[in-house]
A and B are shown apart, each in its own frame.
Chain A
């Protein structure tokens, strides 16, 4: 009886441990795959190509989507930029990039001040778990960005 209890306990303990280390392994694994220097640098160069070179301030931009997606073929991508939209001071462009996609550049949106607010929502495909970036450029050339890791359960290549 006692041994049975002990066994049950240890089995539970075993799964708890495996669960924790398993999750930790996934977390470190994805961190390693999401940030290989070369891929990250390649995405940086795409940003420079689309919006011009410059340092990106991590502020003002937000991607309001959960950090995990069940279906990589359909990931909600609502982006908003908290910045005035007046003639002479507005957000000119926003680009969305997924580091681990075969083609990291997803989409670009160009705005006029008449848009009232630099925000949009679209749905994108993600091949696997990846860092997603939204980079905004103001008419004066300042770059603002936001990045977020999104876990993908099933890849979007089938979509």
Chain B
């Protein structure tokens, strides 16, 4: 069974200026099976198992919300931007179609 999970969120290590736009990077292990692929030995369809939504929470708001399908590559990398307002956690939550839920956060320091 492939490894699933190990969510990671990375942001700038040093404090950033208030109001600046910073890039955050995320990574998670997931097979991202589309449900369209067939097992080459048995000929049976491999059931779909992919991340459906990715939610980015910062400062009490869902700043970015992603809807994914099986057409996102496996072990998906995802980066996004946020405007630094206050020091605090940037929490990212991944949810897959089989009820799997993973989350990770990075602390953003704002000077």
| Interface residues of A, Cβ cutoff 8 Å to B | 73-75, 85, 98, 101-103, 105-112, 114-125, 156-159
| Interface residues of B, Cβ cutoff 8 Å to A | 21-22, 32, 34, 36-37, 58-59, 61-74, 76-85
- Chain B residue nearest to A101 in the complex (CB): B71
| Interchain CB contact under 8 A, B37 and A112 | no
Known pairs A116-B84, A156-B73 / 11 extra A-B pairs, C-beta < 8 Å: A73-B73, A74-B73, A107-B67, A110-B67, A111-B64, A112-B62, A115-B63, A117-B21, A120-B80, A125-B70, A157-B37
Task: State the main secondary structure of chain B at its contact with A.
Answer: strand
Ranked 5 nearest A-B pairs via Cβ = A116-B83, A116-B21, A123-B73, A108-B67, A117-B81
- Chain B residue nearest to A74 in the complex (CB): B73
By a CB distance below 8 angstroms, the chain B residues around A98 are 71
- Chain B residue nearest to A72 in the complex (CB): B73
